[in-house]
Amino acid sequence: MTEVRLEKLTKRFGAAEILKAVDLTVHSGEFFTVVGPSGCGKSTLLNLVAGLEAPTAGAIYFDDRPVHLLGPRERDVAMVFQSYALYPHMTVYDNLAFPLRMKKRSAAEIDRKVRDVAELLGLTPSLPRRPRELSGGQRQRVALGRAMVRQPRLFLLDEPLSNLDAQLRIEMRSELKKLHQALRATMIYVTHDQAEAMTLSDRIAVLHRGDLQQCGKPKEVYERPANLFVAGFIGHPPMNLLRGTFRLGPEAAVDLGAGTRFGLAGVLRDRLRDFPEGGELVLGLRPEHLRLRKSGKDLGRSVRLTLIEPMGSEVWLELGWGDHRLRAKAPAEFDGSVGQTFEFEIDESRVYFFNADRGDRIS
């Protein structure tokens, strides 16, 4: 097992700065995920760790040993890509055996390792077959197996599930997690899918335009997003983010324009005690935290139901609140129809505030 440390890791392609002084530590044995939208620099980061690209500045350490000047072979890492890159003319057995044959291992050792890995991945019946006779999920398992036979010190996985259909992705997700538990190897996984990152990982790092936004356990990042980008990226459907002005006076509120106000009583007002009157902020409310009631004390949170989307186990709702649109989730039993008005409620502890200019969370 290996600890991986990135220090001010920077990559430029020409004038474009693709990774901006990223500092990150992946603990030994961890399943660590780098998540972010397409083009944010995830693959570049993995390629730097693998040694397929050289950093412009900064350093990479494996267990306190600098490796960024070493070639890929000397780093002893295995990388699995989105495209499986299997040898089409070889059987599954030979695909799995290939990395060991390259290393000139004995036939007996190769046979034992190939069969062990095939067993672990449920590939034993497929050993005599060729890649074209396999399903997408089986091919991806062979690609994983080819990484595993070498027993590398580190696994790098670049969106390995993204060619699979939705159902299979979810199955392979659980299998990957079990595999990690069995191997206890350090794995760095890259995906643009926040749900995948949340369910698989011990910790995640959110990357945006080459900038590390936040790093932590999935639950921490979900509960305490560092800024507007993370708040909008983690969670599905995304957090409702509404820009407004902080107003004090006898009735403190976030003024959302056109007569819509989010009243700030007690604790909420206290949380903004250091924020200047008249300052611009963004109110954050997660769809899953909004509760709808047919009637209630009028807190100025009267919303009109504009859309109902049944999702099976729950319904997704769209609500009009003044000039704003809110997304909400409700249980499948939700009883309401488009055009009806409701009051929404939310626990004070679930309300987020962000600085509108800098984007960082205020409280």
| CB nearer Mg ion, residue 85 or residue 307 | 85
Phi-psi group of 195: left, alpha or beta (phi > 0 → left; psi -120 to 50 → alpha; rest → beta):
alpha
CB 253 within 8 A of CB 264: yes
Q: Does 10 bind ligand ATP (CB under 6 A)?
A: no
Q: Beta strands 253-257 and 203-208: pairing type?
A: unpaired
Site size for ligand ATP, by CB under 6 A? 11
Residue 41 near which of ligand ATP, Mg ion, none (CB within 5-8 Å, type-dependent)? ligand ATP
Q: Does 42 bind ligand ATP (CB under 6 A)?
A: yes
Residue 192: which of Mg ion, ligand ATP, none does it interact with, CB under 5 to 8 A by kind?
ligand ATP
In whole angstroms, give the CA distance from residue 288 to residue 238: 10
Residue 301 binding result from Mg ion, ligand ATP, none, given CB thresholds of 5 to 8 Å by partner type = none
Determine if 13 is a binding residue for ligand ATP (CB under 6 A): yes
Q: Which stretch binds Mg ion (CB under 5 A): 43-51, 126-134, 283-291, 346-354?
A: 43-51
Residue with tokens 């819509």: 260
Q: CA–CA separation, 158 vs 141, rounded Å?
A: 14
Does the footprint of Mg ion cover residue 43 (CB under 5 A)?
yes
Q: Which burial class, exposed, middle or buried, applies to 102 when counting CB atoms under 10 A from its CB (0-12, 13-18, 19+)? A: exposed
Point out which span in 40-48, 194-202, 335-343, 347-355 binds Mg ion (CB under 5 A): 40-48
196 part of the interface to ligand ATP, by CB under 6 A: no
Enumerate residues 283-342 that contact ligand ATP by CB under 6 A.
Answer: none
> What is the rounded CA–CA span in Å between residue 189 and residue 299?
45
Q: What is the DSSP letter of 276?
A: P
Question: How far from chain centre, in Å, is Cα 292?
Answer: 29
44 near Mg ion, rule: CB under 5 A: no
Q: Mark residues 43-72: x for contact with ligand ATP by CB under 6 A, - for none.
A: xx----------------------------
Asked if residue 10 binds Mg ion (CB under 5 A), the reply is no
Cα four-point dihedral sign 286, 288, 294, 299? negative
Q: Give the residues lining the site for ligand ATP (CB under 6 A).
A: 13, 18, 36, 38-44, 192
